[in-house]
Amino acid sequence: SRLADKASMNDMLAQRLAKAWVMIGLGVQPERGRKILEESLSRFEGQLAELNELATDADVRRSLEQLGREWRDYRAALRAAPGRQRAQAVYDHSELTQEAAHRLTLAYEKTSRAPADRLVNIAGRQRMLSQRLAKFWLFQAWEVNTVAARMELNFARAEFASGMHQLYATAGTSPEIGRTVEQLDQDWIAYRNVLVEERDAASMRRAAPQVVELSERVLATAERLVTLYQSQDGVR
């Protein structure tokens, strides 16, 4: 449903906000980072308010309350000037907020049975993973929580690859969807090739602008795919 997609969008934004905050702190395209941070804050708040207004299901309401609590703490951490001494708090709160947003997405999914919803969910998950991968890369480049960030990046990379297999299995539903799945895969291969190289923190910092650029490209293509799946099924 469209409400599930808004919850999934906040799942993505929880990762995107941390990515933008670290971009500013690391000095990687800091102006772009500020713009992404402000736009994402505004969008997260707006969607959370809209979801709160429309919630009727008990599980959805409980999940929304939990997300609201995590968001308040995360927003406070994001409002602090980006610096390494505050980076661990942003790392932790981005994870807690993402988990809460994902639980909310699952609560919405339980209330919906539209045939295309599963594909919308997979494409929406790819959208989130595009930002999660960049987030963990940038934390490693900043030498913050390095071991955990590397492990999580590897998990996210494996999940994205699995998602591509699932999307390819249904790419024949329309020519435009097929083309967009192929485009997402091409964008993913370019992104993955940068992410898999073993590097020290200094070389990760040098590659950070490229990682940011590729994460934006994958995000845009995944978003286009979500929209196509929604329009194909007339998602509510």
Chain segment 45-91, per-residue pLDDT in tens: 999 999 999 888 899 999 999 999 999 999 999 999 999 999 999 99
CA angle 207, 17, 57 (to 5 degrees): 140
Summarize the confidence of residues 30-52 as an average pLDDT.
97
Helix axes 2-26, 201-233, angle to 10 degrees: 160
% of the chain surpassing 70 pLDDT: 96
The pLDDT value given to residue 235: 44
Burial 169-188 (b: 16+ CB within 10 A, else e): eebeeeeebeebbebbbebb
**If we measure between CA atoms, which residue out of 107, 117, 109 comes closest to residue 61?**
107
Summarize the confidence of residues 128-146 as an average pLDDT.
97
- What one-letter code names the amino acid at 100? A
Q: How far from 171 is each of 90, 177, 180, CA to CA, in Å? A: 37, 6, 9
CA angle 42, 27, 31 (to 5 degrees): 40
The pLDDT value given to residue 113: 64
Chain segment 171-189, per-residue pLDDT in tens: 777 899 999 999 999 999 9
Instruction: Indicate if the pLDDT at residue 124 is higher than 80.
Output: yes
% of the chain surpassing 90 pLDDT: 81
The pLDDT value given to residue 173: 75
Record the pTM: 0.95
Instruction: Indicate if the pLDDT at residue 129 is higher than 90.
Output: yes
pLDDT range class, residue 116, cuts 50, 70, 90:
low
The pLDDT value given to residue 236: 41
Instruction: Indicate if the pLDDT at residue 112 is higher than 80.
Output: no
Instruction: Indicate if the pLDDT at residue 226 is higher than 70.
Output: yes
